[in-house]
Structure 1
Amino acid sequence: MKNTPTLASSRRRFLNQAAALTTAAMVPYTFTASRVAAQSKSERLRFALIGVGGNGTRTAPVGKEYADLVALCDVDARHLSHGNQLLCDGEADLYADYREVLAREDIDVVQISTPDHWHTKILIEAMLAGKDAYCEKPLTLTIDEGKLIRKVQKETGRVVQVGTQQRSSFNRFNKALAIIADGRLGKLKQITVGIDAGGWSPEIPIADVPKGLDWDRWLGPSPPMDYRFLKDANRDKFYTNCHTHFRWWYEHSGGKLTDWGAHHIDIAMLGIAAAGQNNDPVSVAGSAEHDVEFKDGIPMLNNRYNTARAFNLDVDFIDGDVVMNIRHDVDNGILFEGELGRIFVNRGKLVGKPVEYLASKPLPEEAIAKVYRGMPIIGNDRPAHWANFIHSIEHRTLPISDVHSHMKMLNVCHLAGICCRLGRTIHWDQATEQITGDELAASMMSRPYREGYEIEV
């Protein structure tokens, strides 16, 4: 990554580059807290959706309850057309290049719902352009990208909500954290995180790029590769290295470990903190299975999915009093086991004796509000998560899923992925945020960017 002297110069350079994409001259964007706080109900925030695929079209309708969706951006013309009709009755401004969106002075907020490998670059440039952002998880593709995002967030003061909406689930996940915080489990000893098996594919042939898809721009920072697609008519399935299935390629994502892992490992680490225990990780060890061979952490085949299909990993923490086991072959969810009892929570249920005891001994009235950091509770799950984002914009405070706490959790997911790829224990120093004692593993904390798609701050 190229370093430049000041954040201000980076912001000026970005705005100058973006201005060249439009016919009208752009001026530096100034978006102040007072502008948000002074808005009446008829002067709502205006937001743009960047990435109009599945996650984008699921989350943007929630955002529309709180802000006006005025622009859509995607490198696939089919997504733009479908999203425009579905979300905006055909009235949105449409873009193929996100920089044109960020250059618009009248857009206050962006929702970033692109594939994982694009998150960091777009988010950093959005913050430099003066935008607050709701960015889907996982926030980054690497550990070092997270350090960069956190640096820019601190320097710009932008509000960034990560789309880990389980942090805004009050009837299950926050209730589970409140049970733990109230001492109902005692000291935690074991946490089992079930995140299901990863994707599998046969050999996927090179195929013609679909009409309307800008494949080069879809790849963006990722290494150059051929578009691949296979339709399995017998099983009504398809396999590809693009839409939907990008997460099964290390070039674009981290597989299940950064997919469901970014949700459930998050809750697990919040549970450790809620119990009053130290959740600083020190090592990740275990085993994993892939469908391709690896050499020095690099997959040796490029014609099939390459992220881990199966895994059984243990995360140790600095105090040594609790172990987190991450695996594919148990129920999806989080099992907390403590000295006094155990509970299991996922998106469908919260069960265990301590939950049953709530009927006779309810939690203190403020218990859930306390684990939600005392912020207003409006709705549940995604609606509450967006409401929290808007509240944080109005008050210029960190949202419930801020980039700093998110990255501490996500770094565990990344360390687990490096462990899987190298097949050995990975040691971590939380104080310096560095992998220790393993030069190759440490080199995997970052990645090169394709020419023309570098991140500059």
Structure 2
Amino acid sequence: MSQRFTERRSFLKTTAAAAAVGAVPYFVTGSNVRADEQKATESNDRPLVGCIGTGSRWNSVGPNAMHLGDVVAVCDVDANHAAAAHKKVTDIQSKKGVERKVDIYEDYQKILERNDIEIVTIVTTDHWHSKIAIEAMKAGKDVYCEKPLTLTIDEGKKICQVAKETGRVFQVGTQQRSEMGLRFLQAVALVRSGRIGDVQNVAVAIGGAPTSGTIPVADIPNGLNWEKWLGQAPMVDYRWRLDGKFAKTRCHYEFRWWYEYSGGKLTDWGAHHVDIAQWAIGQSGEGMGATSIEPIYAKHPVELKDGMPVQDDQYNCATEFHVKATFDNGVVMDIKNSHQQELGFDNGIMFTGTEGRFLVNRGKLVGAPIDALKDNPLPENAIAEIYGGKDPAANNAHMTNFFECVKTRSLPISDVYTHHRALTTCHLSNIAIRLNRSLKWDPKSQQIVGDDQANAMQSREARKGYEVTV
């Protein structure tokens, strides 16, 4: 048994104070990863990877994948991103002694057509995820896709359907399930083991979207295929304005704050924290989820009509919000941009039960139930059981879990089915605040009850030529 595993096993067993939890680094790239790479290279069993979408977030996802597989193709509708990714891949793989030709594509279909590519990473804008993921699975590829997985509830239904039909391994990039010092795994284990009694409330703080003011129409940058970037979304003008050191735009990174391409903070951070919360309270399985969604308040930077923005020249996602989701097990989840005023935190999850409460976020795990672990630790295997019996202490844990599941054909820790259920709560919350009314949800039939207009917002009309078919 390696020294590192012994140390981590001891940590999991004793589960001392939050300070000890916080001491574990987010990403560890130590000797174990290099040994795994060397072993895989010697046995010539490293899978070949194609990377679809190579913007800012890919700079983490891509190198993590290269610890375990060899990238042979990169693809992006922005030629500048694709060229930078090509250089990064060749530099990293050359240093490891991997001499492979790396192709550059603008059209992701070129990657899906290649029989040698077994795995694809999808790190595009949110509104492109579902179409690429469905076609990748149907092309026989295993998929690692960044969160949030979908733009609509209907897309999640379709992805789950195709995943079942094809049997492909699919990991969603919700790294909180694997990393962040194992704080979130420990939080789930604490709730599941009854350390706070019966859960009554889960308060989730995820931040609000920024505002932009008016963004003028601008020339499309050289190398960007704007029409393909829009894909399923309506054809609109490219907009860009420099604001200090940062750009306000309809495009790269800032797409998060437009309902046409994303869901604001309710899906950007909700995909992380709501996911952990529903996992902990046992509401992420098939047929489970919130039964009612009540919008307490919401603030948007533009006027909405029938839930749709009436302006197209500035960010339109909610800057402030409070949504109350009630589950059939009696747990109430309060989802807000901030709980600072009443609970004292701007980001994180507060679990409250009949016998105590605690807070978890990416920086800390605190509360009386955490302090009590010094004298009454969790069982030695508690976190491993939460992690599906696999090693939660692995280097590069989330990507390692995915590659292991590709080999074993087992379900990864962040599967599409549980992610879809958590993201459904986020999508329903957005529908509720956009229409400014409460919704009744049937998690078994996955339908909004008695509200045709709200039900219609489960899907979107794709631009001709970009339809999603299953």
The TM-score with structure 2 as length reference comes to: 0.85
Counterpart secondary structure, 2:57 = helix
Q: Which residue of 2 aligns with 1:186?
A: 197
Q: What value does the CA root-mean-square deviation take over the aligned residues? A: 1.8
Structure 1 residue 157: Cα displacement = 0.4
Q: Which residue of 2 aligns with 1:258?
A: 267
Give the 3 Å change call, closer, same or farther, for CA 336–416 of structure 1 in structure 2: same
Determine which of 218, 230, 234 is the counterpart of 2:241: 230
After superposition, the C-alpha distances for 1:44-98 in whole angstroms (9 at most, x for unaligned) are 1010111000111111111111111111100001101111222322962110000
Q: Which residue of 1 aligns with 2:228?
A: 217
Q: Which residue of 1 aligns with 2:359?
A: 344
Q: Which amino acid aligns with 2:71?
A: L
Determine which of 164, 183, 195 is the counterpart of 2:206: 195
1:384 aligns with 2:397: yes
Q: Which residue of 1 aligns with 2:218?
A: 207
Tell me if the contact between 1:159 and 1:397 (Cα under 8 Å) persists in the aligned partners: yes
Structure 1 residue 136: Cα displacement = 0.5
Determine which of 328, 337, 343 is the counterpart of 1:328: 337
1:176 aligns with 2:187: yes
Aligned residues with identical type, % of pairs: 49
Q: Distance in 1 between matches of 2:426 and 2:275?
A: 9
Q: Which residue of 1 aligns with 2:111?
A: 101
Alignment of 1:39-118 (within 5 A): 41-89=43-91, 92-118=102-128
Q: Which residue of 2 aligns with 1:361?
A: 376
Q: Distance in 2 between matches of 1:251 and 1:112?
A: 19
After superposition, the C-alpha distances for 1:132-168 in whole angstroms (9 at most, x for unaligned) are 0000011111111111111111110000000011111
Q: Distance in 2 between matches of 1:275 and 1:84?
A: 38
Tell me if the contact between 1:342 and 1:353 (Cα under 8 Å) persists in the aligned partners: yes
Q: Distance in 2 between matches of 1:96 and 1:415?
A: 34
Structure 1 residue 318: Cα displacement = 1.1
Q: Which residue of 1 aligns with 2:146?
A: 136
Q: Which residue of 1 aligns with 2:313?
A: 303
Structure 1 residue 43: Cα displacement = 2.3
Q: Distance in 2 between matches of 1:86 and 1:40?
A: 23
Q: How many residues align?
A: 414
Structure 1 residue 227: Cα displacement = 0.3
Q: Which amino acid aligns with 1:208?
A: D
Counterpart secondary structure, 1:172 = helix
Q: Distance in 2 between matches of 1:111 and 1:275?
A: 24
Q: Distance in 2 between matches of 1:348 and 1:422?
A: 35
1:161 aligns with 2:171: yes
Q: Distance in 1 between matches of 2:245 and 2:136?
A: 39
After superposition, the C-alpha distances for 1:284-335 in whole angstroms (9 at most, x for unaligned) are 112211011011111100100011110011001113x211001112321101
Determine which of 411, 419, 432 is the counterpart of 1:406: 419
Q: Which residue of 1 aligns with 2:279?
A: 270
Q: Which residue of 1 aligns with 2:463?
A: 450
Tell me if the contact between 1:188 and 1:275 (Cα under 8 Å) persists in the aligned partners: no
Q: Which amino acid aligns with 1:45?
A: P
Q: Distance in 1 between matches of 2:402 and 2:453?
A: 38
Tell me if the contact between 1:195 and 1:333 (Cα under 8 Å) persists in the aligned partners: yes
Give the 3 Å change call, closer, same or farther, for CA 39–57 of structure 1 in structure 2: closer
Counterpart secondary structure, 2:282 = helix
After superposition, the C-alpha distances for 1:23-50 in whole angstroms (9 at most, x for unaligned) are xxxxxxxxxxxxxxx9973221010111
Q: Distance in 1 between matches of 2:70 and 2:354?
A: 49
Q: Which residue of 1 aligns with 2:21?
A: none
Q: Which amino acid aligns with 1:357?
A: A
Give the 3 Å change call, closer, same or farther, for CA 167–267 of structure 1 in structure 2: same
Segments of 5+ residues of structure 1 without an aligned counterpart are 1-37
Q: Distance in 1 between matches of 2:42 and 2:328?
A: 49
Segments of 5+ residues of structure 2 without an aligned counterpart are 1-39, 93-100, 340-345
Structure 1 residue 376: Cα displacement = 2.8
Determine which of 317, 325, 328 is the counterpart of 2:327: 317
Q: Distance in 2 between matches of 1:212 and 1:41?
A: 40
Alignment of 1:409-420 (within 5 A): 409-420=422-433
Q: Which amino acid aligns with 2:218?
A: A
Counterpart secondary structure, 1:89 = helix
After superposition, the C-alpha distances for 1:148-195 in whole angstroms (9 at most, x for unaligned) are 111111110000000011111353000111111221111111111010
Tell me if the contact between 2:278 and 2:284 (Cα under 8 Å) persists in the aligned partners: no
Tell me if the contact between 1:285 and 1:315 (Cα under 8 Å) persists in the aligned partners: yes
Q: Which residue of 2 aligns with 1:24?
A: none
Tell me if the contact between 2:208 and 2:264 (Cα under 8 Å) persists in the aligned partners: no
Q: Distance in 1 between matches of 2:288 and 2:140?
A: 33
Q: Which amino acid aligns with 1:362?
A: P
Q: Distance in 2 between matches of 1:333 and 1:88?
A: 38
Q: Distance in 2 between matches of 1:423 and 1:270?
A: 27
Tell me if the contact between 1:178 and 1:274 (Cα under 8 Å) persists in the aligned partners: no
Structure 1 residue 378: Cα displacement = 4.3
